[in-house]
Chains A and B, each alone.
Chain A
Amino acid sequence: MKNIRTKILSNQEISPGYFRMRILAPGYERKARAGQFVMFRVQRSLPPLLRRPFGIFRTGFLPSDCDDMPPIEFVEILYKVVGRGTTIMAELHEGDRVELLGPLGNGFDLTATGGEKILVGGGIGLVPLYMLASELVESSSVRLLMGGRTRDDILAVTEFERLGVETYVSTDDGSLGEEGLVTHVLERKLQKYPDAKVFACGPLPMLKAVREKCLAYQAPLQVSLEEFMACGVGACLGCVVKGAGHTEEAPSYLCTCTAGPVFKSEYLDWSSLGTTQTECGGCT
Chain B
Amino acid sequence: MAINQTTRTERPSLAVELAGIRLRNPVMPASGTFGYGEEYAPFLDLEEIGAIVTKGLSLKPKAGNPTPRIAETISGMLNAIGLQNVGIDAFRKHKVPFLRTVNTPVIVNFFGNTLEEYGAVAEQLAEIPEIAGAELNISCPNVKQGGIVFGTDPKAAGEVVSLVRRKFSRPLIVKLTPNVTDITVIAKVVEEAGADAITCINTLTGMSIDIRTRKPRLANRTGGLSGPAIRPIAVRMVHQVVQAVSIPVIGVGGIVRPMDALEFLIAGARAVQVGTANFVDPTAMLTITQGIEEFCVEEGIDDINQVIGSLRY
Contact = CB atoms under 8 A, between A and B. Distances in A.
B228 A1 contact: no
A234 B33 CA distance: 10
Given A233-B39, A237-B81, A282 B208 contact: yes
Contact of B79 (A1, A51, A234, A238): A238
A240 B69 contact: yes
B279 A237 contact: no
Interface in B18-52: 32-35, 39-40, 42-43
Nearest to B85: A237
Contact of B74 (A241, A279, A283): A283
A3 interface: yes
Contacts of A235: 33-35, 39-40, 55, 278-279
Among A1, A228, A279, find the residue whose CB has the most chain B CB atoms closer than 10 A: A228
Where chain B touches its partner, the secondary structure class is loop
Contacts, number: 125
Interface stretch (B99-107, B144-152, B210-218): B210-218
B310 interface: no
B77 A230 contact: yes
Nearest to A46: B75
Contact of B217 (A231, A234, A251, A278): A278
Contact of A2 (B39, B42, B228): B42
Nearest to B78: A282
Contacts of A70: none
Where chain A touches its partner, the secondary structure class is loop
B79 A46 contact: no
Nearest to B209: A284
A227 B70 CA distance: 10
A230 B74 contact: no
Contact of A236 (B66, B67, B70, B208): B70
Interface of B: 32-35, 39-40, 42-43, 55, 63-64, 66-79, 81, 84, 208, 210-213, 215, 217, 219, 227-228, 256, 276, 278-283
